Structure 1
Amino acid sequence: MRNKITLIKNAKIVNEGTIMSGDILIEGEYIKQVEASISPKSADVLLIDAEGKYVLPGVIDDQVHFREPGLTHKANIETESRAAIAGGITSFVEMPNTNPQTTTVEKLEEKFDIAAKTSYANYSFMFGGTNDNLEEILKLDKNQVAGLKLFLGSSTGNMLVDDPEVLEKIFKSTDMVISVHCEDEGTIKRNFKKYHDEFGDDIPVDCHPLIRSEEACYLSSSKAIELAKKTGARLHIFHLSTGKETQLFTNKIPLKDKKITAEVCVHHLWFSDEDYKTKGTHIKWNPAVKTAADRDALWKALLDGRIDVIATDHAPHTKAEKDNVYTKAPSGGPLVQHALQAMLEMYHKGKISLEKVVEKMCHNPAILFQIERRGYIREGYYADLVLVDLNNPITVQKENILYKCGWSPFEGSTFKSRITDTFLNGTLVYQNGKFKEVKAAKRLTFNR
């Protein structure tokens, strides 16, 4: 059977630090040619006129919680990957704190089986480390799984790793990327007791960043980095939320040579503690959204290269769950559908260039996790592409939210930019708000 051929004409192509006007020829699953002008050599070509639009590599989100198995009243791989595609995210790495937890090779493969049947986007999964599963970790094929995830602070589906000896053994035993959630449990418990003693269960939500404090984050992050330096482990620290933590990282060496890397999430770049007044528990995340000064410091570190990746930590809960009092409202919120638009909004505000958005959301996750042939617009790479109209406003409303939970922390916000087309492995899967009746997703592979 002949490969299908698509030609994207008249695009502004954002890739590898430049924006060029040109065309992209797709043959089968792959990018065949990228040139200033390409003429179709056959009548049997799908022509896409991208006049006035920008083409970006598909976004790679290295941290999502799609809640399957076991928590599917909140979300599942099918619903959330569909929302991701509409948001220009073509590949995701999902976390292990499901039910059952992804802490055995058997449970990991069960999740891969679900994704193979239902995912709209390319997929991989993190394997969860615990206090007693080192034998399972040693069975993993490093080219078939994204990496290890360790919770050094408790969160949804408590998988806290708090045995120092076990932690050091894990760090010494694998050359895969170890991704960590860093918050010091002892500090959080002391802070929580103080506020619970004062307020009971109905703690004001603006106390959240005082409970899950700067000190809790910095103490845990600095310990993890110290252990990585001692053992030579490859460490990636998820969702930085404080300015103080940014001082722990360097921009002096290229990303491919870094042993210790960092990421920031969209919500920590967008919201501050001032937003608790209007958003309440809907912006309750772990780690907490903190001060405007913290947000400014995160932006500075992102732009100067100390922070390497922008991710979502997409973690949906039902609105009924989120509308509880502080102690009963779970942390986390849905973001994959709107993350790229939020960062494009920051481009419009002059905070970040389009080239830098692509670097942090597309190129760097591919480098960091050594993902095969994705994250760039290059000949021979998979054709995961996103077409964006930067001047086609859209307001986030109940009717256009695709998350299973049905709400968004951006509800009511108007974004200047719109995702118009998404290509996955050479197939046009989403166009002008409609999904094509085809699934083209593939399991991510890694070149390690």
Structure 2
Amino acid sequence: MTFEPTLDFARQLDAQDPLRGFRQQFLIPPGPDGQGECLYFCGNSLGLQPRTARAAAEVQFENWQNLAVEGHFKGDTPWMPFHERLQGPSARVVGAKPHEVVVMNNLTTNLHLLLISFYQPTATRYKVLMEGGAFPSDQYALETQVKLRGFAPDDAIVELEPRPGEHTLRTEDIVAKIAELGDSLCTIIMGGLNYYTGQVFDMEAITRAGHAAGALVGFDLAHAAGNVPLQLHDWDVDFACWCSYKYLNSGPGGVAGAYVHERFAERPELLRLAGWWGHDEEERFQMKKGFKPMHGAAGWQLSNGTVLSMAVHEAALKIHDEAGGMPALRRKSELLTGYLEFFIRRLNLPKERLEIITPQDPAQRGCQLSILVHQGGRDLFEHLMAVGVIGDWREPNVIRLAPTPLYNTFEDVFRVGEVLTEWAK
């Protein structure tokens, strides 16, 4: 599409947008001094509140009030099987079969639980491969998991770095490193989308290469779930985890998700950290010794679900489905992000002052554009915030802006383009 830097053009795109009505299903914070609405471009960090979220939680407050402990078994949404209500919608988000996913805990808790099962090193096959500059929580998780198994992180953890002068990783370099590590490689755990650069990795190619080397392959999908198309089952990914509070709009610290390929569903001997909610539900209340895991990803559960958080998550997932899921969201996302990129490149600033470090190829990025500002970056960020453009800052000098298809408009992007154009003069 040939973009135009005019308000009329932006409004024309909005008029043609089949998803335009979904913006009304979200609560948008006010702009500066409480006037109007802000320009919210921070869904990569925290999604906006669905209007249905409060009512969904209120239903469970009423059940708690009126049913108390019997709410586990009675009412329209009994709490005992509540996590099952989320399996289908979550599976559609990540491209899995329902029994391959479970909603539970928080992101890094799930990552640790999965690594217990899928990082089982030997004296010779103990290396872990991850991208350099991964989100700190992933770095800390791997560091401690490696130490737990008696290895030194500096030896066991291999980090992938871009070529000199480049900001993102090339798939051929990732595949080559996997082949180089060969029989020493135990597990690959990477972000499906790098939080800093916004690069989407070729998860299918990485999984194929990892399996060829005899390694298990997993992904942290915190910035990918609800943002880019995923086909975890078809890509043959072994395990994955994600949060729900970014592009899935399920509230700060909202309940997270985990995926385990069905090939592991009938592997009760697979080492894991167990809890009673992961025990065979037919025998759960017999209170016997001897852990017998449930079929599929549900066998990695520890405790009964956080129902209030899951109720909000269910409300948010319904909006995702009503919008047509990832195919519909992706079509709009590529246009929105492309329009924002158009305005940034139109500034014609030298690379030494400002550059986009997110890949230009839409297939290698999601909503987010990471802008590396070499001169006056913090001043630009504070200016954006002061005029009501809500993005986020990542040290040392990156501003992340994420036009999100469920609630951002093309006019929003035009308004941000205006602010950037004025700043660059």
Q: Scaled by the length of structure 2, what TM-score is found?
A: 0.28
The structure in which a higher percent of residues are strand is 1
In our comparison, the structure showing a higher alpha carbon Rg is 2
Q: Scaled by the length of structure 1, what TM-score is found?
A: 0.27
**Which structure carries more relative contact order (alpha carbon 8 Å, separation 6+)?**
2
